[in-house]
Structure formats: C-alpha cells, structure tokens
Structure 1
Amino acid sequence: MSETASHAGLRLLRNAEVYAPRPLGRQHLLLGGGKILWMGAQAPELPQAVLADSIDLQGRRLIPGLIDGHVHVTGGGGEAGFRTRVPAPTLSRYTRAGVTSVVGLLGTDDLARSTRELVAAVYALREEGLNAWGYCGGYHLPPATLTGSVRGDVVFIEPLIGAGEVAISDHRSSQPTLDELLRLASEAHVAGLMSGKAGIVHLHLGDGARGLELVRQALERSELPARVFNPTHVNRRKALFEEALELARRGCWIDLTAFPVEEGEDAWSADEALQRYLDSGAPPERVTVSSDAGGCLPCFDADGRVCGMDVGESGALLDSLNAVLARGVALERALPAYTLNPAQLLRLDGKGRIGVGADADLVTLDERGAAHDVFIGGVAHLRDGAIVRHGQFETPARPTGASAPIPPQH
C-alpha cells in the first residue's frame, strides 16, 4: 500500500516495547494525521475500512525519532580548498540512522555557502518528508543573514530558530569579543521571545586554551538567561568537558558531538562523555548529543593547515547510543539526550517523546540496536531495515529514458 494512502488513513502499530523515553512496556499505538492518536496496552478493535495499515512490531523497542541538532544540510568543509567542500547529505542518510528531525547550520564556510542556500536546503528536506529547521549565521561575525539581522531572520524566516554555529576558542573564528557575543545573544534571545522559537546561540568550541571563558564572562556580566548560550563539541578536550559541566549546572544546555576518538586522545567519545555527565550530578535534562553530519572533521598542523579530515554522519548518533548502553546505562536514562532534551531546548513541540498528541516520529530498534522501522509524521521511511522513501536524487536506478518521479508531499 502506498504511503499516500497510509497517510490518508489510520496506521496501527501493535506490540511495541515503548520507551517514551521512560519505559511504558508493551503498547499498541494508533497513528493518524501525523500524530499519535491513541496508545494502550490492549489492541483496539477497529473496522478495516478505517485502517490503512496494521503493523506487528513483535516486541521491538519503540523510541521517539532522534533529533540531530547539528547538521551541515548544505555540506560543510572547504578548509583545504574548494575541492574539500563536502556534498550535502541525502534524505536516507538521516532516516536510515533513525533521525527524524535535523537542525541545519553553516560552519567555516559561511561565505560561499549562504543562509539563503541553507533555508533552501531545509525546505527541500521538508518536501522530502524530514522535519528540518536551521540557524542563521555561521562561524564568523558579523553573522550571515537573510534580512540583515539575526533578530529579523528568526522572527520573519519561519525555519530559522536561532544563530549558529558561531566559533569561539578556534583559529578559524572571527575572534569575537565579549561585547560582540553579548550583542549577538541579545538579538537571538529577543527574537526567540517575539517568535516563540528557541532563540539560542549555538556555539562551536575549538581546541583553544580559552575554552568557555567567553561564555562564563557573558553569564557574569549580562542579564541574559544561561540557556541562550549553547556550546557544542564540548567533549573534544577533557578539560573543556569539565568546564561545560559547570556551565550546565549554571543553566546552559551543552552538546556532545558523536565524532571518532582515538585511543589515548585528549577527548571523550560521546558515549563516555554522556555517561560521565549523567553520573556527575549535573541536570540530566541539559545535555544533548549531535552528529555534525555533513560537516568536515579536520585535524590541523601547528601552522593551522589541514593535515587530515573525516566527514560526520548522522549514523554516529545511534552508534553512540548503543555504545553508552553497552556501558551499562539504561536506555531510558540515555535516550533523553537524543530526543526529549533537544526538543525542549529547541522548543520543538510534539517532538522527542511518545504519547497521545505527540508527533508520530517513531523509530523501532532491532536486536543489534539498528533502526528497523522509521516513521515521520506517521509516514514510513524505513521498513524492516529497508529504505522505502528516497530523496529526489537518490531514487534507485531506472531504465534509460525513465523519468524520476517527484516524491509525494505530505
């Protein structure tokens, strides 16, 4: 049955082991209109005429769709010449990894890549069925914008929910001063108040020795709420992670990056950092994990030149979640960092949880912890581990001369 028909009718998911993120045991869920309409321990008796689909999940774990809050939806890179510009990830690169919502941003290259291009990429992902938003700006100040100001972008450009990723403590940054950071944060905060959006500044942290000193000064010398300052990559150095823990206790949300960490490196992997965070006594709701998908993960020599690079993947989120579970952390304790916590920080109503009235963004996990089924707004993108909904330019090959159809809208 086509997904167009399924979206028009009701979909019943039976025999799911639900983590909402808290464990709810074996449940049945009725989906319709993009929402979870009903959930209960006893399967409802419904006339077949109203059911577009009924799926027996056979006791697989059902979790909220993952929210990847740091994605280069236009592609990243470019630090070692134009040939190192990373291509934009395609739809299934997210969905096969259990990601149902992304927040796009610009990084080092906020010149050749623009806020205009970012917004277009967000709209394209939405048309393909993914939940997507973005930040205006990039590494540098003054920030790249569409309207001429951060406040104007967040208030008037619907998909833009804050500013980022603004670089600090990094040789690639514009070396912002405290006054510049406070002006930017005040613009984002007031825009959030006016629009009901997140209104945060997502801060890229480099390897610089100054670490989070600029954020500490901002908290001490202004009236801005701590939640406005959202540092990411804070597990890239062990000392930086300790600084971030203290900021979380002061009210900031901190973001861990699921990047590869070599043995003996002065960094924490996302799974080890998350376990350490949860065991530290810091507020458990103020930590998130993101992938840096589509972004360049470079290393630099003493002169600041790229000496090697990797590319971030959204699949790193599920990998890190499974790694933290292997450390003995319970799923219901680890899961909020990938679902509920980013939804609350980003003020994405209906996301990050499973319950009646919530959005039907759902993922089932197989016995290995891989995504087995993925539903976004109740529409299947992955079924039994196979992609059933492709992006416009990743549709399986067709005979010569056959035209590629435009994916159905919903």
Structure 2
Amino acid sequence: MSNPAMTEHPTNEPALRLLLNAQVYGPQALGRQNLLLGGGKILWMGIDTPDLPAQLPVETIDLQGRRLIPGLIDGHVHVTGGGGEAGFRTRVPAPMLSRYTRAGVTSVVGLLGTDDLARGTRELVAGIYALREEGLNAWGYCGGYHLPPTTLTGSVRGDVVFIEPLIGVGEIAISDHRSSQPTLDELLKLASEAHVAGLMTNKAGIVHLHLGDGPRGLELVRQALDISELPARVFNPTHVNRRKALFEEAVELARRGCHVDLTAFPVEEGEDAWTAEEALIRYLDSGAPPERISVSSDAGGCLACFDEHGRMCGMGVGESGALLDCLNAVLARGVDLERALPAFTLNPARLLRLPGKGLIAAGADADLVALDVNGAAFDVFIAGRAHLRDGAVLRRGNFEA
C-alpha cells in the first residue's frame, strides 16, 4: 500500500463544493447552472443559488461562465506503459497521475498490448489500484494482444467475475503481424467468455479488439456476427481510423450494433488514415448511430511504424491530452459541443457500463472539467475532489517530480 503522507494531496478538502455560473454541457447543452457537490456526487443542480445553512462547510467557486463538461473517459490506456517491439529499451514508462488529469481525463481503462509477457495482468491490476489510491477512476481488461490471453484466474470469465476492476478482455490483436493470428472459433470462444462474465456481474463484458494495418480488416468480426448469437456490442474494435477503408468497415459494423473506437494519434499528410477529428465528423455525418462511437488516446502506448520486414522503424507515445486536442479540433470545424462531446464521455460510459459517469445531472458522479477559453482543462474534479484549480495541478502521483 502507498503511504498517503508521501502524496501531494490537499488535506483540507471541504465536505461540500458549490460551483456557480457554469455553462453546463451534460453532454447536452443545459445553459448556465449552479451545482452542489458532496459525497462524490452532484447533489443538486439548478439556476438559483441554494440557501445553505451557514454552519455547513461549503467552498464556493465561481466558474464565471466557463463551459463545464463531464470528465473525459479514456477507454484505451497503457497504465503500466506499452511498447517493447524493438527491445526492452523501447518499453514505455507508465504515465503518472497528472498526465491524465491535466488533460481533463477522470476515468481510464487500462490494458496490455504487444508485451503481455514481461507485463502481465498482476502488474496491470496493481497499476489500476495505484491510480485509484491517487484519486483517478480506473478499470481494466485482462489479456493483451495474444491468445491464449494472460489472466489471473486462468480464464477470462474468472477474471471478469472475480477481479473487481477487470471489465472485459483486450486489447486482442487482429489483422496485425504482431497478433497470434486468431481464428474465428478462437474469437467466438473468447467473446462468449467475456459476454457471459458480463451477464454475471453487470460489467461491460466486451472484447476490445486492436486493429492492425492488415488487409483482412474487420472480416473476423463480420463473420462472428453472421454465424453466432452473440450481441454485436460484445465486439469493440479500436484504431479503426488507421486506414480509410477500415474506417468504412467500422461504420457498417456500427450500423449492425457494434461500438467502434477511434484513436487520437497523429496522421501525416497524405497518409492512408483519418485523424480522429476527421473520422468523428465523418461518422457523425454518416447517419450511423451516434451513440456507438468513441475516441480514446492510446496513452502510454507505443505508436509504432514498421518496415516491410516487420521491423519497427519509428515510434511515438500516446498521450491522454490528445482527447481534448481532438475535441477542440472538432469544435473548430463547426461541430456543436453537445454533438461532439458524447464520444468522449457518455458513449464510452454506456458501453463500459459505468453508472454515474459521462454525464452531468443530479445524482451523477462529480467528475467534472471546466474548460478555459482555449478549450484546455482549467478546473478538474474527480468525485468532487479538486485535482486542477485555475489550471494548476493540486494532486500528483507519489513519484511525480
């Protein structure tokens, strides 16, 4: 267990916070509102200032008309670090707490990638618990790129049922030279394990699928939908904007009931890919169900490129800050905030079955982000506790400089 005395956390948190003059997007536009926070929840919201007893310890914060949105949900994060495709020196370190909160991210879902051997489910669960102790909302997936998936209990169903933070399996790689080349039967068995575990626990119970550059694209998922009784929502492909043709396949799968996920990675001019902002606009304009799209960052992951021999020829590192960058880029293209925001908040909350997340309403969790005029996170509250105030970091992880 970490020593609380070692953390840079304020010890004088008020029991109640009153936020005044917030321009609320919950994610729908609700106009100027006042909110009372307490016990980790939004206790009340309204246009009038509540008459509270003078004896109550209340901190009042005037947001001066700033936009107040639900905390962003980053559904694809390498909380223990990713990478390793070009030797142990290319293993990416784990991101620290404020890397998330400075980006307006209040909830993350952690996972393993290519390296699901040197890094395993034990380390992942420990990393999730550490982030929770530091005040972040965190869950995770058992498994990694390869089959059979790495687990704690010996099965996906056992992990999801008995390990509280684990809500599904992923990121299982398909159409990628780094995958274990899963067959249709293997994918169906894996999906059935996740689905039944979700039924038993009311967790997400999904298979989060890494999509590579391979020409087979989403063929395996289409076949699974064609021949099985499994609900389409169980299959959750990500990185679907990495090729333009793959994106079109993903839109059609969304029409069939799958929830598809975009990755906010950099795209070079002339590359056969869509930026997350371009893909999100195209998706919203396509007429596909708007509730079946989300955007994640791949934070802490290795954004690798490979030559024709499968050797890594370059790498970057995903950052949670890419989510706000993407959202602001979409807004700059003329999309209304209430239309763009669900892909970063309410949509992943519903897919992941995280009640109280992704919305602003009385009774919801007090995970809130106030944006400055440039769209950066100005104030961040998680369960009503301040992590950022006036753009300054108040809470840091134990080992942050």
Same fold (TM over 0.5): yes
Contact 2:142 2:168 in 1 (8 A): yes
Q: Is the 8 A contact 1:3 1:379 kept in 2?
A: no
Q: Distance in 1 between matches of 2:399 and 2:314?
A: 29
- Distance (Å, rounded) in 1 between the aligned partners of 2:160 and 2:315: 32
Which of these residues, 6, 21, 24, is aligned with residue 13 of structure 2?
Answer: 6
Amino acid at match of 2:239: H
* Residues 160-179 of structure 1: pairs in structure 2 closer than 5 A: 160-179=166-185
Which runs of 4 or more aligned residues in structure 1 lie more than 3 Å from their structure 2 counterparts after TM superposition? 2-5
Identity %: 83
Distance in 2 of aligned mates of 1:53 and 1:390: 22
C-alpha distance in 2, partners of 1:218/1:5?
53
**What does residue 322 of structure 1 align with?**
328
**Matches of 2:310 and 2:264, distance apart in 1:** 23
Cα displacement (A) at 1:148: 0.1
Aligned equivalent of 1:246: 252
Is the CA contact 2:356–2:363 (under 8 Å) kept in the aligned structure 1?
yes
Deviation at 1:52, TM superposition (A): 3.2
Is 1:353 the counterpart of 2:334? The answer is no
Q: TM-score w.r.t. structure 2 length?
A: 0.97
Calculate the aligned-residue CA RMSD, in Å.
Answer: 0.8
Once residues 3 and 21 of structure 1 are traced to their aligned partners in structure 2, the CA distance between those partners, rounded to angstroms, is: 29
Matches within 5 A, 1:187-266: 187-266=193-272
Could you tell me which residue of structure 2 aligns to residue 401 of structure 1?
A: none
Matches within 5 A, 1:227-306: 227-306=233-312
Tell me if structure 2 keeps the 8 A contact 1:65–1:339: yes
Residue-by-residue CA offset, 1:371-390 (whole Å, 9 max, x unaligned): 00000000000000000011
In structure 1, what is the equivalent of residue 381 of structure 2?
A: 375
AA matched with 1:350: G
Q: Distance in 1 between matches of 2:128 and 2:55?
A: 36
Structure 1 match to 2:137: 131
CA-to-aligned-CA distance 1:316-369 (integer Å, 9 cap, x gap) = 000000000011110000000000000000000000000000000000000000
Report the residue type matching 1:329 in the other structure: V
Listed one character per residue, the Cα deviations across residues 203-237 of structure 1 (whole Å, up to 9, x for unaligned) are 00000000000000000010000000000000000
Contact 2:10-2:394 at 8 Å conserved across structures: no
Does structure 2 retain, via aligned residues, the 8 Å contact 1:5–1:52? no
CA contact (8 A) 1:12 1:51 kept: no
Alpha-carbon separation, structure 2, partners of 1:170 and 1:112:
20
Match of 2:57 in 1: 51
Is contact 2:142-2:159 (8 Å) kept? yes
Distance 1:110 1:303 in 2: 22
CA contact (8 A) 1:141 1:176 kept: yes
Aligned partner of 2:28 among 10, 19, 22: 22
Report deviation, 1:46.
1.5
**TM-score, normalized by length of structure 1?**
0.95
Contact 1:6–1:52 under 8 Å retained in 2: no
Task: Indicate whether 1:141 and 2:150 are aligned.
Answer: no
Ranges in structure 2 where 5+ consecutive residues have no aligned partner: 1-8
Paired with 2:64 and 2:366, the residues of 1 have a C-alpha distance of: 19
Superposition deviation, residue 290 in structure 1: 0.1
Secondary structure at 2:55 match in 1: helix
Counterpart code for 1:355:
A
Q: Which amino acid aligns with 1:227?
A: R
CA distance in 2 between partners of 1:308 and 1:116 (Å): 29
